[in-house]
Every structure is written in structure tokens, then in C-alpha cells.
Structure 1
Amino acid sequence: MKTTLDELQAFVTVIDAGSITAAAEQLAQTVSGVSRTLRRLEEKLGTTLLRRTTRRLALTEEGSLFLLRARAVLDAVESAEDEMAARREHPAGRLRVNAASPFMLHAVVPLLAGFRAQYPDIELELNSNDDLIDLIEQRTDVGIRIGALRDSTLHAMPLARFALRVLASPAYLKAHGKPRHVEDLRGHSLIGFTQPESLNRWPLRHAGGEDYEITPCLRASSGETVRQLALAGQGIACLADFMTRADRARGDLVQLLIPHTVEQLQPVNAIYYRNTELAARIRVFVDYLAGALKQAQG
């Protein structure tokens, strides 16, 4: 598009004000500046829009036609700006959120009733994936990532930090005994992750340091699968608090090796692309999630 909004605004203001001088006052510009804008607009269009005399301005036939179109364009832009302002005050629209399945199930889903009650015009689309995805390629507004971030092109907002604990079910402990020392784990069924291997280093203090690399008897790609295996009495697992708090409160999972456990807090971040002002629907979701998770942690 050759014509700018400033040129359209100057043209319409001159007509409405009745003179270039009055238009210049309204636009807080000089008379010569407005005159140059009009000449530039006519040159771009290749036609005369206004006939100027010392006493008055008169629209040409082309000028009258262009005035209708210019008003329509400016009205459309103003309406769009008003709509965006309204969305800032009352966030609306579709919001696509991606998170690993365990975090979605145990941390996000329980908070959605409160969020939806507060922001009923936001249409949520929840996608779970245990692998990292490309936000743009998957048309995702907000991703939730657990652990250290690698992509420096993304903006991140810390949501929470969760402790890791070594756990087993009472049924497993009854059948196999309770390990008293870290080295005792060698004689137990250990449940680990297929990837990344860093999740198979548990925060346990032992003779070799403050993380203990396990050799899993069972491996799973999803933390939720690891949790279900532990609940089913299939072995000992190391899981984050966000997915086991209720299990521990009910006694379905029991923390082991407490004196040997090193406090290791796993960071959780909301990530998103941000080139200009953050969309209101994204901002309120991230803020709500951070506040609710902080409150839940006490």
C-alpha cells in the first residue's frame, strides 16, 4: 500500500476542518507540513483531490470518491484499535496452551475452574506433549516447560519450583523392604525415564556426591506413567511434588531416604514468543497460573 494512514488522516481532517490552517491546528502540525502531506498523497494517487483557492477548498470528483474510501479505512482502523483496547480490559479469544501431560493433569487442570470463572471469554485449547515442541509450528501461544530452558529466543516467566522426592508405595515396601541407605537402592526395582538421562540422576547424598545415577529396571517417557507404575507397586521412583502431593497426603506414596535427600527444586516456566506487547489473554493466563501455583505451595 502506497498511501499511509497519516496521509489519509490529514486529507480527511482538512475536509472536516474546512481549511488547511484549521486542520494543522487540530493535527498539531504546521500549515506547510499539512500542505506537503496533501501534495504527496495526490502524487501517489496520480490525481487531484482538492482544488485550492485563496478563499476555499473544493473536492474534485475523484476527491469525493476517495474521501468515502478514506473515511472507511480510518473508521476500520479505529474500530480495530477499540477492539484491542476492549480485549486488554476484557481478555478474549482462543488461547492454546501446551504442557507435559503430568503438569497439565496435576497442576493446570485443577486451576482452570477459577480461571474460566474470572475470564469467561477466553477459549482454552489444552495440548499435552511430553516432548518439546516448536511453539510457532504447533500454533501454540504458551508452553509450560519443566527444568532448565535452552531456547534463548523465547521469553520466559517463572511459575514455580518443585522439590524432587524418592517415593514408593506401601505395597512395594511391604513386599521388598524399605531402603535405609542410598546404596540399598541397588537391590530394588527402580523406575526411571527413557529421556532425558538427567532425570535418572536422583538428588541423593552418597559417597560419590550429591546426585545418584540409577540403572532403571523400568523406563517410561512420561512422568505420569512413572507415577502410575510407582502407585501400582512396581518400584521406587523420583518425582516432582506437583504430581505426588495428593498421593503423599493419602499415604499412597511414601517418601524414602529423607536424611539423604538433597533439596533440588525443579523450575517451571511459562514460555512464549513476544515481539511487541503481550496479548492480554496470554498475560492474564500466565499471571493467574503463577499466582495460583504460589498459593497452592503455601
Structure 2
Amino acid sequence: MKLALDELTVFLAVVDSGSLTAAAEHLGQPVSTVSRLLARLEDKLHTTLLRRTTRRLDLTEEGRDFVQDARTVLESVRVAEDRVMTRRGQLSGPLRVDAVTPFMLHVLVPLMPGYHALHPQVELTLSSNEGYIDLLERRVDLAIRIGELKDSTLYSRLLGHSRVRLMASPAYLSRRGVPHQLADLARHELLGFSEPEILNLWPLRQADGKLLQIRPTLQASSGETLRQLALQGMGIICTSDFMSAVDVAEGRLVPVLPQLTEERLKPVHAVYYQHSTVSARIASMVDYLAGLMRAPETAWPMLAAR
């Protein structure tokens, strides 16, 4: 019995996407080809890996046991390919990077031309999600996460810290007045997140010693949406420097209650799953980003290096 790499690739694509059709779209192959390769794999293993119903596909017990083995085999092949390409002085192949939309737009995208110039044969795929994702399920190699890490199955490298501050447009403050103390916020439009609630905890200390938990008058799920609303004069936001630095420099946003704002720094990590050998492509991106953090005045002035 000889298993083929395309059979393992199809099997994992079906598992991760949840259907033959979605797997076919992801792989750029006809559904008939995906179905045939999956059937051939099950025939070689003399077992059923997936139960097919009219509505969904479910892993059998044998399938659940086989998933991790299949991932390990494909990852080993990727690492071997990376070693060969590294010895030849060049990297090639896919690299999938994920980050929340604001960080992707304001930080990563401007840095990608520099990375592409260094590694032109690496095939980048950039994805954005507003919350944490399962890297394996989404087939993501590297994610940039802001805030404290909770997943112990991930390796991480600290890239820097993101500082948050209150901001509003000059037009809004001219129309509604400039707040000078905490109580003044009661008569202002506060723009906040629809979820999670912790993102609506602002760095302002109340009389009882607790940070201010706002009740937004207008909510959105994305920090970039809130930034755009603030630029349109819709209210006050609490946002990260990496999103607002250019707006502040060009006068589109100005700080609100800076004398009362406590310094809050959120760690920014590059995270990836624990493999026995880290993919050279992953390492190249992490090293590139970390190297720029060591010279924030030229690349990331909106992040605090400490």
C-alpha cells in the first residue's frame, strides 16, 4: 500500500472545509477529482474515514485517528522542501498569514512589498478575521495576535506592544465640545465593539479605582469600522496607535482626555503551531517582522518596542 500526497491533501481539505464542494473550490479541482482521490485513499486503507450524509461529512473514529498522522506527513514533506530550497539560497511555496483586519491593513500590507522583494518565490496568502481562529482548521501557517495569549499549543514570538488611546475628529469635538473630565463623556457619542465586551474597557480610571466599561451608543464588530466612523465625526473611539498614528499626524483625529488616559500596552505576537522543525517560510516572515520592530522609527512607529 502506497499513499499519495495528493490523497492526503484532499482528505485534509475535506476535513477542514467540511464538504467535497468546498474542498474542491479550495484546491482548484473538480469535485469529481476530490471524490475519486478520497475514495482511493479509503480503499488503500481498507476503512471508511468519512461518513457521508445528504447534509454533512463526519469523521469516523478511524478518520479522527488518521487526521493528525496525515497532517504530520504533509508537514514533514513541507519541512524537507524548505530545507532543500534554503540550501539553494531561496525560499518558495505557500505561506498563509492571518491577522485582524485593522492590523492587516495598517501594518502588514505596507510591509509586504519589502518581504516579497526578499523572497519573491514565496506564495503569500493574506487573510483577515475579526476574532481568533483555529490555525489548522483555516489552514493558516502564521497569525498575528494582539492581546494576551491563551492557547498553549502555539509557539509565539513577541513583536512589540500596541498602545491604545481615546480619539475623535476635530469636527466632532468642535460640534459637541471637548471633554475635560471623565463625567463629560456622559454627553458624548461613544463608539465601541459589539463583542467581546472586554474591548469596551477604556483606559480611564474611575473614582472606585476600576477602569471605565463603556456602553457604546454605536457598535461595530471591526476596529477599522469604528475608525472610519470616528473619521466621519460620529463620536469618540478607543483605538490602537497602529491604526490612528497616520490620522493623528495628518490632523484627522486628535487625542481625547490624554491627561486622564492610562498607558495600556497590548502585546503583539506572531503565533504558529508547534512543529518539530519550524517551516523556513514561517521563520522568514517572523524574522522579517521582528527585525523591523528593532528599528521602529523606520517601519513601525505606531508600535511600542518594549
Matched, 1:95 2:124: no
Deviation (angstroms), 1:254 = 0.4
Q: Structure 2 matches for 1:25-174, cutoff 5 A?
A: 84-87=83-86, 89-174=89-174
Closer, same or farther: CA 91–82 of 1 in aligned 2, 3 Å: closer
1:87 shift after superposition: 2.8
Deviation at 1:82, TM superposition (A): 7.9
Query: 2:265 & 2:186 partners in 1: Cα distance?
Result: 25
Matching residue's letter, 1:223: G
CA RMSD of aligned residues (A): 1.9
Task: Indicate the residue corresponding to 1:37 in structure 2.
Answer: none
In the alignment, structure 2 segments of 5+ residues that lack a partner are 2-78
Aligned length: 221
Report sequence identity in percent: 49
TM-score, with length taken from structure 2? 0.69
Deviation at 1:207, TM superposition (A): 1.3
| Large movers: runs of 4+ above 6 Å | none
Give the partner amino acid of 2:84. A
Q: Which SS does the other structure have where 1:260 is aligned?
A: coil
Matching of residue 278 in structure 1 with residue 278 in structure 2: yes
Deviations 1:209-234 (A, max 9, x none): 25211110011110000100110000
Distance of 2:198 and 2:82 partners within structure 1: 47
SS in 2 for 1:262: coil
Q: Quick one: distance in 2 between partners of 1:257 and 1:117?
A: 42
Quickly say closer, same or farther: Cα 1:82–1:208, change in 2 above 3 A.
closer
User: How do residues 174-189 of structure 1 correspond to structure 2 at under 5 angstroms?
Assistant: 174-189=174-189
Question: Which one has a bigger Cα radius of gyration?
Answer: 1
Following TM superposition, by how much is the alpha carbon of 1:159 offset from its aligned partner in structure 2, in angstroms?
Answer: 1.3
Q: Which runs of 5+ in 1 are unaligned?
A: 2-79
The amino acid that maps onto 2:276 is: T
The change in CA–CA distance for 1:96 and 1:207 in structure 2 (over 3 A counts) is: same
Residues 81, 203 of structure 1: alpha-carbon distance in 2 compared, 3 angstrom cutoff = closer
1:218/1:81 CA distance change after superposition, 3 Å:
closer
Report the CA distance between 1:86 and its aligned residue.
2.7
Q: Which residue of the partner structure matches residue 287 of structure 2?
A: 287
Name 1:33's counterpart in structure 2.
Answer: none
Deviations 1:42-94 (A, max 9, x none): xxxxxxxxxxxxxxxxxxxxxxxxxxxxxxxxxxxxxx968623336422211
Q: State the TM-score, normalized to the length of structure 1.
A: 0.71
| Matching residue of 2:11 | none
Which letter does structure 1 place at the counterpart of 2:83?
M
- 1:215 paired residue number: 215
The structure-2 alpha-carbon separation of the partners of 1:183 and 1:122, relative to structure 1 and needing over 3 Å to count, comes to: same
Q: What is the match of residue 5 of structure 2? A: none
CA contact 1:240–1:266 (8 Å) conserved in 2? no
TM-fit CA distance, 1:131: 2.1
Aligned residues of 1:192 and 1:226 also touching (Cα < 8 A): yes
Distance 1:257 1:210, change over 3 A: farther
